[in-house]
């Protein structure tokens, strides 16, 4: 079926930014991803939550055509993250990470999910990312993100993941640490030597670099005057990117990847305009169309 499977974190965040503070709000890569991707196609979540996970948060996702059959609920507390941003909103400072029920998480893909055409492995342990790849049938498209912690602690598993996926989505810090190369253009080329057919570099307020079939495609982000909370922007980008590709319903072309990158970038611009998932949760197709038009005016 033309649905997207995502495996990632589902949790609660406490966030301070120059624009304010929020305690224990809905977060996690799988939630940001799902809220974005579900604007395009049905989304299926694999993850784990504890006993404290609130029914209203399941309902929010289900109201957006997100299937939670693969979201295990177990005894213990839900994953949580505390972080802050100072003047430079491009960089999150982690104050605390409580893995809680995530510590013993092993992804189990429900039988009803196995025919998913598109698979996104959010930035979880690459050993778990491999377990997911082994459980799905032959998807049309696989993509993965990672984070510096795994680059340093589980590099060989991560390299195995990269060998097996179609598209890597990374930010510039991850790109540098993974390749040892500071030049983004050279580093992007190195990633393709590791296995993926395409790489998308997320650059925050500077937009993105997409490299595929020997061709770079580079654009800035949508100009946002009031950045409230950048948390989840990268996962939102991935959701818009893969959502757009899933909707295409055919093997993707480079042109599709270009348009998908723009969709990812623009959806991320909604996420940063409010705390947590508030910004992306209220985006409609009409909002996105309007922003696509405004964006064309900015870049051409």
Rounded to the nearest 10 degrees, the angle between the axes of helix 155-164 and helix 126-135 is 30
205: contact with its own copies by CB under 8 A:
yes
The encoded tokens of residue 29 equal 């890569």
By CB under 8 A, which span of 30-38, 96-104, 218-226, 262-270 interacts with its own copies?
218-226
* 53 vs 222 by CB, closer to its own copies: 222
By CB under 8 A, which span of 42-50, 108-116, 221-229, 262-270 interacts with its own copies?
221-229
Give 105-143 as a DSSP string: ------GGGTT-SEEEE-SS-HHHHHHHHHHS---SEEE
Contact pick of 89, 122, 198, 260 for its own copies (by CB under 8 A): 89
Helix, coil or strand: residue 99 = coil
Helix ranges (H only) for the chain are 29-37, 55-62, 126-135, 148-153, 155-164, 172-179, 184-193, 233-248, 254-271, 278-281, 285-299
1: contact with its own copies by CB under 8 A:
no
State in angstroms the smallest separation of the CB of 245 from its own copies. 19
Pick from 128, 208, 201: nearest CA to 161 = 128
79: contact with its own copies by CB under 8 A:
no
Number of residues that bind its own copies (CB under 8 A): 29
By CB under 8 A, which span of 64-72, 210-218, 231-239, 263-271 interacts with its own copies?
210-218
The residues binding its own copies (CB under 8 A) are 87-89, 182-186, 189, 203, 205-207, 209, 215-220, 223-227, 297-300
């Amino acid at each position: 079926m033309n649905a997207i499977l995502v495996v990632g974190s589902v949790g609660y965040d406490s966030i301070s930014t120059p624009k304010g503070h929020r305690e224990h709000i809905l977060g996690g890569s799988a939630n940001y991803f799902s809220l974005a991707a579900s604007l395009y196609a049905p989304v299926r979540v694999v993850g784990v939550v504890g006993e404290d996970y609130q029914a209203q948060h399941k309902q929010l996702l289900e109201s957006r055509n997100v299937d939670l059959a693969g979201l295990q609920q177990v005894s213990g507390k839900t994953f949580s993250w505390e972080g802050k941003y100072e003047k430079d909103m491009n960089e999150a400072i982690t104050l605390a990470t409580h893995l809680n029920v995530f510590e013993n998480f092993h992804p189990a893909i429900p039988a009803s999910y196995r025919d998913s055409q598109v698979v996104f492995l959010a930035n979880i342990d690459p050993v778990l990312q491999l377990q997911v790849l082994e459980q799905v049938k032959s998807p049309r498209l696989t993509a993965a993100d990672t984070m510096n912690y795994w680059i340093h602690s589980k590099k060989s598993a991560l390299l195995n993941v990269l060998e097996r996926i179609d598209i890597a989505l990374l930010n510039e810090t991850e790109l540098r640490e993974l390749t040892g190369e500071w030049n983004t253009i050279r580093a992007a080329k190195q990633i393709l030597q590791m296995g993926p057919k395409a790489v998308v570099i997320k650059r925050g307020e500077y937009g993105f670099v997409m490299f595929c079939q020997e061709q770079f495609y580079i654009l800035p982000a949508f100009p946002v005057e009031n950045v409230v909370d950048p948390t989840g922007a990268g996962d939102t980008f991935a959701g818009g990117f893969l959502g757009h590709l899933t909707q295409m319903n055919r093997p993707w072309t480079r042109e599709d990847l270009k348009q998908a990158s723009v969709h990812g970038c623009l959806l991320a611009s909604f996420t940063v305009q409010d705390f947590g998932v508030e910004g992306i949760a209220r985006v409609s197709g009409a909002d996105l169309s309007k922003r696509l038009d405004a964006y064309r005016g900015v870049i051409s």
